[in-house]
Amino acid sequence: MSKLEKSKQKIAAIFRAARNQNITVKQGKARLSDKTYNDYEKIVMKYANKISKDFNISDVTKWKPVMFMKYVNEAVDDWKSGNLGVAFSIKQERAALEFFRHATIKTNTFKSEIECVDKDEIKKMLDFNHVRRSGRYTHTLSADLESSSRLLEEIKNSRSHHTEVAYHAYKIAMLTGARLKDVMNLTVGNINLNGTVNFTGTVKIEKSKGGLTRNVPIPEDTLEYLRELMEGKKSGDRIIRLYKEGDERKTMRNESAMRKLSGIVTAAGERAGLNKVETVSYKYRDENGKTKFRTTEIKVTASFHTARKTFVNERFVFYNSMDEERQKSMLEERLKDEKVMKKYQQSKQRINKTRSSGDRELYHYENAMFLASLDSGHFRVDVLEQFYLLRETLKEERIRVGKRV
């Protein structure tokens, strides 16, 4: 067996132990989702191949931070040339290696820590060159209810064995904020007919991104729609199933089913005229270290995630349209949960971090974003503002309180 294969076996062993021990980088954080563990493992395995090829080093214990900096510098060059997607990919690779470094300590797989990445040095390099993720650079379409409804109608026109299932899967995501994998795993038992003061029922999303489980409040019309899909099924039965060539004796694996559904949605978005090309500007540093500006084109396409973004936009509008008294009452009810209160305090801290004139409370529209973030499971007002909410939706509210648009 080659040294590289032996190293890969050790990498696999570290990730197995990390899963079994529920290891996370930050203390007190919830267990990572299985998908995150898997994604990180694939990234580290791919990195092992790159190091072997580029540095002729197959022994994982000999990795050094300077090696990863080679790829950071390449990402910076890509950024300067207009490939803005590297901001996400290089940070994901950094996170995977940071997790791997941390796991080598926690699992005691090696005699000492493998110092394969210097997080602070990477951050400094990326910040200096203005390499950052931004909602303006995303390739995934955000949509309101009207646009998503157009997409739904176009999904109906798809020439596929899975057209009807794709329609229901997208609609469930649009009404509950579930990710594609969450929709595939949704069972009859996850639908709760007992609601809250403001909603008729709830949908339990189990082991979603980050390993989180949440209960999403849903109104009567959504509950009635889900009841129809549940008819004739047992508690443990999945609501959405795909079959090979429509043959119910041949169940399609989740990964294949997810790819199939994603393809149907994107093609429908093209036919519906929702996919578009946008020109965006970005900053970078030239060879003399001076900040410069360029423009590049980004293709924005409808995807299954568009349904989730639609849900967030609709929930924001719902909470923001409430009068102060009703919104405050709803917020206070949610803040009785200690975890929710902690997230709320963190949101306030982020907003007040750079203020010199004293702390302030969240504005009405920011409270609406926080409530929508609870329903979507993001818990981050800034994430919703950057990547989910339509700019037109927020513009008026930001002007109202004197914030930049």
- DSSP for 148-205 reads HHHHHHHHHT--STTHHHHHHHHHHHHHH---HHHHHH-BGGGEE----SS-SEEEEE
Averaged over 19-33, what is the pLDDT? Answer: 76
How far from the centroid of its chain's Cα atoms is residue 394's Cα? 21
Candidates 175, 174, 181, 170; CA nearest to 266 is 170
If you count DSSP H runs as helices and E runs as strands, how many of each does the chain have, helices first? 16, 5
The pLDDT tens digits of the residues spanning 126-185 come to 999 999 999 889 999 999 999 999 999 999 999 888 899 999 999 999 999 999 999 998
Best-predicted range by mean pLDDT among 54-58, 209-213, 377-381?
54-58
pTM: 0.86
Inform me whether the pLDDT recorded for 58 exceeds 80: yes
In sequence order, which residues have a C-beta less than 8 Å from that of residue 242 and are 6 or more positions away?
Answer: 162, 165, 251, 252, 256, 257, 260, 261
Average confidence score pLDDT of the chain: 89
Confidence class for position 73, pLDDT limits 50, 70, 90? very high
Candidates 322, 332, 405; CA nearest to 389 is 405
Could you tell me where the DSSP H helices lie in 59-132?
65-80, 86-106, 119-128
Largest Cα separation within the chain, whole Å, is 69
Inform me whether the pLDDT recorded for 245 exceeds 80: no
The secondary element (H helix, E strand) that includes residue 348 is helix 338-352
Residue 46 in tokens: 């791919």
